[in-house]
Structure 1
Amino acid sequence: MTAVLALLSAAFLVLPANADPLPFDDCPAATFCLYSGADGTGERRDFTDRQSLESYDPAWDGKALSAKNNTALWACVYGDPQYGGVLQTVKPANKDAYEAGAVRSHKLVPARARCFTGYERCPDNRVCTFTGPNGRGPMTVHLPKTDAATQNYGNSYGAAAAPKSVWNRTRKHVCFYPEPTFTGSWTDPADSRKYGAYVVLRGDSTTIPEPFVRTVQSHELVNGTAECQ
């Protein structure tokens, strides 16, 4: 009996007094955790399951090398601010690793499909245009105003801001034009048909197709599509 007790005591003595926590184990519940080091090491930054950030402060912009999604939601991680760039998704309760510069914005959503869009950022009763497809990338919120020259109830913004997608959250239809003066037309190279306006109906969100994408420079709000110029 004495020999058996001695062996058991020796076995216990070899165990460390305070074992180091496993990687990512320090991530709190209902939290999305970013780490400055690989495998859950380095400095940690926490985001609750209700927090989504379109950009980080300079100290963390592109600095995260690993993450733990300790929430019941999907984590959508983007390579550019404002939900732009390369998209990576993290299942609930999963971990992930990243190259330097790969994490520049994130959001938490109930279904993975919502990672591929960013339309939800658009406020009610506004027309919102986006530099990327499906409402992703930098967003411009248009406050409708009457143009002094044309008296059109809309906005003129020029080629530099020509969008790839749009959400019309107003109660009017939107007519988009290729000229900043609410005029112009497009020719479809597939069938040579001419179009005087690209229309987005009230409440609709869409990725703008060819030949209109990245060419619209103004829009107006109308009660009926026959009112388009």
Structure 2
Amino acid sequence: MTPVLEFRSVTAAYGPFRALFGVSYTLAPGEALALVGSNGVGKTTVARVASGLVVPTEGSVLVAGRDMTGSKPYRFARAGVAHATEGRSVFATLTVEENLSLSFRRVRGRRGVRSGLELAYEMFPVLGRRRGQLAGSMSGGEQRMLSMARVMVEIPKVLVADELSLGLAPIIVAELYDTLRRLRGEGTSLLIVEQQVGHALDLCDRVIVLDHGSVSWTGSSAEATGVVTQAFDPVH
């Protein structure tokens, strides 16, 4: 079965600073894959390369068997790769509905905005209740839901979710992961990039541990507990 996303010996750098060293992995159709590791090991760089935001200096990135290395981010998006970036990424001075409408009009056209809004409010009921509220005045968790709704409504082939739990209350994190489960049920493959790994291990089939820009371990979620504990050990 052709992977929906594949890295082949990917190296990436920011100027003279090398962030990734020969990273390889595959993501199968319908699979959920957790990419974990301590802060600063290159997890967000993997997410950015996976959606075209960072171009590898070496290696290849394939989407559904097609070599996308060096392609612009919009080509990754057209190929079905959506990226829920780290942080909130909302227009603070616009309302919830204005934020969503801008995104849906660009992707769906004017006629598709209403159906997009209905789906977003079904996924995240709190956004429907806050539709007239300025995005910048919402809680951090609500802003995170808004940023995710903008990419999740289209039911992408692949969703790259970067640090969903960062800075959020446990109840909000649980709601976000419930939404990811529903999205996976619709057929979306998930690449979950996390530092707080509990929910990710519960959701995902396989785990990759990243250490200093390289893959140090990969295996099933059932096998991962001890390995992940070591990866987050400050002495390690």
Tell me the TM-score normalised to structure 1 length.
Answer: 0.21
Between structures 1 and 2, the one with greater helix share: 2
- Name the structure, 1 or 2, with higher relative contact order (CA <8 Å, separation 6+): 2
TM-score normalised by structure 2 residue count? 0.21
Larger Rg over CA atoms: 1
More strand by share: 1
